[in-house]
Amino acid sequence: MQYISTYKSPLGNILLAADEIGLTGLWFYGQKYFAHNLDPVHEEKDLPVFEIAGKWLDIYFAGQKPDFMPPVHLPGTPFQVSVWKLLQQIPYGQTTTYGELARKIAGEKGLAHMSAQAVGGAVGHNPISIIVPCHRVVGSDGSLTGYAGGVDKKKYLLCLELLAAGSLT
């Protein structure tokens, strides 16, 4: 069974979803793939995981780096999960490219090459935006390509982190 809650962010309302294990979804209302993995049968309910995620988001949107992680449950294919785990390793206030993620996945799997486009597909289907930081992945030229929540939101999130990390003046 999945449960839902709404978080009011500076970028608009966010739908949170969770099961018994942890957070399973965090989507901006109206984004691409909105509620993609949400069970058709779910209910709105206050859960401790929503309180923890809300505190994390409050700290994050206040321009600070949260020092804890809400429990997450990332249901997906083994490939998707491997990409989403790499996303969680991108340091706060920093970015990486789809190509670099592809090279890391290829190295983990002992392959000579991995498609950056395949990695991009998995990044785009990340069900837990912001907390699993897919917004930190940019094009090979540093361009702000693709973000299911919209490039304007991606830019806002990156600027928020860069300001908090002291990387912008």
Q: 30, exposed or middle or buried, with CB in 10 Å at 0-12, 13-18, 19+? A: exposed
Residues with Cβ within 8 Å of 149's Cβ and at least 6 positions away in sequence, in order, are: 11, 27, 28, 31, 32, 129, 135
Helix (H, G, I), strand (E, B), or coil: what is residue 61? helix
Distance CA(145)–CA(160), nearest Å, equals 18
What's phi and psi for 28, nearest 5 deg? Answer: -70, 135
Q: Which of 4, 134, 137, 138 is catalytic?
A: 134
For residue 159, indicate whether it is catalytic.
Answer: no
Task: Please tell me the distance from the alpha carbon of residue 115 to that of residue 163, in angstroms, as a whole number.
Answer: 32
Q: Could you list the active site residues?
A: 134
